[in-house]
Chains A and B, each alone.
Chain A
């Protein structure tokens, strides 16, 4: 049942206009990095690398959040969710299938963009880009999966607008988490520092998945630590989502 449901959702996601548009824009921007590199004055490989990695990180994250919101929030809002649930399908299977399908689609996007990126880097003569791009894309893919897990959790009980707003805020704050951590360490916020310290435990630490940083300083130990954090954090949200979906009443 889980396999059939996941396959069905993957088909839906890859056929959706939103997915195709995001992927097309991502491809255009990665290729666009090549045009910009012409203006770099001898630093073309570096410019392509920086822009390409930023585009991949953004495209994959946007894909994850869009698929999650269109998977659950929209399905609940339009009552399309009944089509799956009445087959019958346990709520937990419906939820897990959407997470697995989203993960698969995110990885497909990541691989397409990374493959294109590698080809462009080879074309501009970047020195041995494969290991760095591989680690960077793996870690970046995990960032997207973390966002997917949070967005799916929010989609169970919140409207599309609320989920999208919260996800945007979390993306920005999560990316700035390292700076927030420094400020908290300096006790820059006075008595509210304790609250912010607690928030740092709950917030997604998206700074740990910074692709441009990984591309420049590939250390396997850090990569493994980031992957472990991403897996545990995403699974935590998935488990919370499973508890929540079982209690959800689709009236």
Chain B
């Protein structure tokens, strides 16, 4: 079942005093299968955040069609199935976490939401102080907690790991995997290759507003002729991609990490960056 579909979506905005047109997304097509973790990667300005905002229905494509479970995301009933955390956790700083949780619960018509449990779910300590006293990382965590309140079917997270400490990143990874195991769908953007490799089964690579690659993450690595020798399957928790002694973590599909023996440490240095891989693959085609 397709959860999200972009069909030839183009987004143009006008900017500046003279209203100059700027094309942010250009003929973007890709789909996200329900029950998977889908990563959107690309350099700054590639169109990642714009793509995700189009999904929220707050922004509309200039041309093309975007659907969420076959319907327009501008419909309130469809949008209720989606939880969104923006890249910058812009929250009302004069309020307390419990007040924000209460508002989101009322807006989403959720019953019996425990603010303490909602906040502690993302590793935050419950405190009765305005958000102004929270650090950037804490605000980021709270933004995530509010996005996933009530466990909507699709989590759309714009750079959810940015500003988090290693424990926070690990916790977010764990939350995404747990949601996927429950049959939920996750779409998230990231600059971090480690995060994308560790979690995503499918990837969409954006470059200058165009899709450079969209498909299985494994295939992308395969196209780049990266040789791996699978010697075991281990739980992903606690593993970072890279060389660990004589073993390298070379990839993951969201549930498992793939390891290989490393004859020397060169593997680490030749690990390619995903956007570069996409460029190489596009050239081959």
A residues sitting closer than 8 Å to B (CB atoms) are 1, 4-5, 8, 11-12, 15-17, 78-80, 82-83, 85-90, 249-251
Residue of B nearest to A75 (CB): B90
Beyond A1-B107, A251-B50, whether A17 also contacts B94 by CB under 8 A is yes
Pick from A8, A15, A16: contact of B103, CB below 8 A: A8
Closest CB in chain B relative to A166 CB, distance in Å: 16
Contacting pair B76 A88 (CB below 8 A): yes
Asked whether B18 is an interface residue with its Cβ less than 8 Å from the other chain, the reply is no
Q: What 0/1 readout, one digit per residue, does chain B (57-100) give for beta carbons within 8 Å of chain A? A: 11110000000000000001001101110101011101100010
Task: Say whether A4 contacts B91, CB under 8 Å.
Answer: no
| A86 B91 Cβ-Cβ under 8 A | no
- A/B pair count, beta carbons within 8 Å: 71
Which residues of chain B have a CB within 8 Å of any CB of chain A? 11, 13, 24, 50, 53, 56-60, 76, 79-80, 82-84, 86, 88, 90-92, 94-95, 99, 103-104, 106-108, 130, 146-147
Q: How far is the CB of A169 from chain B (nearest CB, A)?
A: 19
Known A-B contacts A12-B95, A17-B94, A251-B53; the reply to A88 vs B106 at CB < 8 A is: no
User: Are A87 and B59 touching (Cβ within 8 A)?
Assistant: no
Closest residue of A by beta carbon distance from B50: A251
Docked-complex contact A4 and B103, CB < 8 angstroms: yes
For the complex of A and B, list the 3 residue pairs with the smallest distance between their C-beta atoms, beginning with the closest. Answer: A88-B79, A87-B107, A4-B106
Complex Cα spacing A86 to B58, Å: 7
Alpha-carbon gap, A17 to B57, bound state (A): 32
Knowing A90-B76, A249-B59, say if A4 contacts B107 (CB, 8 Å): yes
**What residues of chain B lie closer than 8 Å to A12, measured between beta carbons?**
92, 94-95
| A5–B100 alpha-carbon span in the complex (Å) | 11
Contacts of A78 in B (CB 8 A): 88, 90
B80/A79 in contact, CB under 8 A: no
Enumerate chain A residues within 8 angstroms of B59, measured Cβ to Cβ. 249-251
Residue of A nearest to B60 (CB): A249
Complex contact A80–B84 (CB within 8 A): no
Please determine whether B106 and A16 come into contact, CB atoms closer than 8 angstroms: no
Known A-B contacts A88-B79, A89-B107; A82 and B84 likewise in contact (beta carbons under 8 Å) = yes
Of A1, A17, A86, A249, most buried by chain B (CB within 10 Å of CB) is A86
Contact assessment for B11 and A83 in the assembled complex, using a CB-CB cutoff below 8 Å: no
